[in-house]
Structure 1
Amino acid sequence: MMGGHHAATGAAVWLAVTTRFHVDLGAVASGTPWGLPAFDVGWGLLPVSPLGAATGALVTAGAALLPDADHRNATIAHSLPPVSKALCLCMEGLAGGHRHGTHSILGLAAFTVLAWAAGLWQLTLPGLGTVDAGAGLLSILLISFAAKALKLVPDRLKVTPWVVGVLLGGFIAVFAPEEQGWFPQAVFLGVAAHIVGDALTVGGVNPFWPFVVKSPRFFRRLPLLSSVWTRGGYFAVPVLGKAGSIREWLLLVPVSLYTLWALGMTAFQVLARR
Structure 2
Amino acid sequence: MLNHRSLLIMYLGAALVGASVGVLILFPVNEFVFYHEFKMTHSSGFAFAGDQLLSALKGETPLKTLFYALIGALLGLGSALIYSRFHRQLAQVQQLSQALAKDIERLIGQGESAELEFKSSMRWDYRKNAANKELEFVILKSIAGFLNGRGGTLLIGVDDDSNILGLEKDFDTLRRKDTDGFEQFLMTAITNQLGTEMCQYCNVIFHDIEGQTVCRVVIGPSPKPVYLKKSGDTKFYLRSGGGTRELNVQEVMEYAPSRWK
TM bucket normalised to smaller: under 0.3
Taking structure 1 as the reference length, the TM-score comes to: 0.24
Which structure is richer in relative contact order (CA contacts within 8 A, separation 6 or more)? 1
Taking structure 2 as the reference length, the TM-score comes to: 0.25
Q: Which has the larger radius of gyration?
A: 2
